[in-house]
Amino acid sequence: MFGLIPRTVWSRSVPADDRGRIDVHHNCLLLERVSDEPLVDDEHPAPSVGGGSRFAIIETGTGDKLDEKSRELFAMSGETVLTALATTGRKPDEIGAVVVSHLHFDHAGGLTRLAHAGEAADWIGAASGMAGSRPDHGVKLTFPFAVIFTQKREWDDALANRSVMTRTYFRDHVEPIAGRIFTVDSAPPFAWDYTPGRSELPFSSLPYRESPLPGLPGVFVFLTPGHTWGQQAVRFTDDRGRTVVFTPDVLPTVNHVGQAYSLAYDVEPYTSAVTRNWFLHEAATNDWLLVLDHEPGNPCQRVRVNSKGWYDLVPEPPSSFASSSPIG
C-alpha cells in the first residue's frame, strides 16, 4: 500500500498485523437525486436501463465472488456493497447507475454477485482467485437495471488485463458487465506522450478535462492516471452546495497525502506522484470535500496548504452528508 516507502517510515502512523497487513475499507457512496431532471434523457443519451431511478452508486468494493483462500489472504470481512446498501433501506433494483473509479477487483468486484441456488445466471465461467482459476460458477448482475460508467481507457485495459498484478482484472468481474458498460473518454491532464515535471500543473483547466455523465445531471468524472491509466475521480455538488469529489487510489487513505506515497500496484508511480500534486492543488484551491476510497477512519476530508508548501487533510464529519451517504 505504500510502494517504495520503507515500513519503518509508514508504520509510525499506520499499524500493521503480524503479516504486514493494514486496515483499509472499500468505501462507496449512495447518491440520491434531489432535482426533478430525469436520470436518462434525450439530450445525453445513455443505455435504456435505469430510467426514472433517483439513486446511483459510486464504487462497489470486492463483492462476494472470491474464494475463502483469497478472502483470508486479505482478511476480508463478510460485508459487501449489498449488505451495506440494505442498511439504507434501498434495494439493488432501485439503482439506476453505478460509477466505478477503475475496474480492479476491490473496486468493481461488487458489480456482480454469485448466483443463488435456483437463479438463472447472467454469466457462467471460470471463477477467479488469487491462487488461480477455479471451476465454473454462475454470476448475476448486482444492480440489474443500472448503467455502469467507466473510462474507455480503463475498460480497454481491463479486457486486455494490462496491470502490474496478473490477478486484478478478473474475467468473472469484467465479462458479465460488458452489456451494461457506458464508456467515457475524458481528456488526460497531460498528453500521453509528454512527461511533466513532478510539480507541474496541467496546461488545461479541469472544466475542459472532465466529462458529464449522460443521464446523471451534475455528476462529472475526470482522469487521475498513475494507479491505472484510466482511473477516474467523480465530482458532484450536494444539496448543501458543497463540491464533493470521490477520490480513487491517487489518495486511498489519509496517510497517502505525501507526494511519494504511491502504491506498489500503480502502473506508473511517477505519474501517480504528479497526479497527486495537481489533484491536491485543485482540492485546496476549490475547497473540495474529498471522500477517500480506502480510508478506514473518516473518509471525508478537506485539503489545506501547510507551512511547508505541501498539503494537510482536515476531517469533516461524515454525519454532515445529506443527499449522499457513505456506505460499505
Q: What is the residue type of 158?
A: A
157 touches 163 (CB < 8 A)? yes
Across the chain, what does the average pLDDT equal?
A: 91
196 touches 243 (CB < 8 A)? no
In 15-162, which residue ranges form alpha helices assigned H by DSSP?
68-73, 81-86, 105-108, 152-160
The pLDDT confidence band at residue 52, using thresholds 50, 70 and 90, is low
pLDDT of residue 51: 57
The pLDDT confidence band at residue 50, using thresholds 50, 70 and 90, is low
pLDDT of residue 134: 86
Residue 110 has pLDDT above 80, yes or no: yes
Mean of pLDDT values over 84-99: 95
The pLDDT confidence band at residue 131, using thresholds 50, 70 and 90, is confident
Mean of pLDDT values over 13-37: 90
Q: What share of the chain is helix, strand, coil (3-state, %, to 5)?
A: 20, 25, 55
CA atoms within 13 A on the CB side of 65: 39
Q: Hey, what domains does the chain have and what are their CATH numbers?
A: 7-327 (3.60.15.10)
pLDDT digit string, tens, across residues 259-286: 999 999 999 999 999 999 999 999 999 9
Distance separating alpha carbons of residues 135 and 126, to the nearest angstrom: 5
Mean of pLDDT values over 52-58: 88
pLDDT of residue 53: 80
pLDDT digit string, tens, across residues 172-219: 999 999 999 999 999 999 999 999 999 999 999 999 999 999 988 899
Residue 74 has pLDDT above 80, yes or no: yes
Residue 156 has pLDDT above 80, yes or no: yes
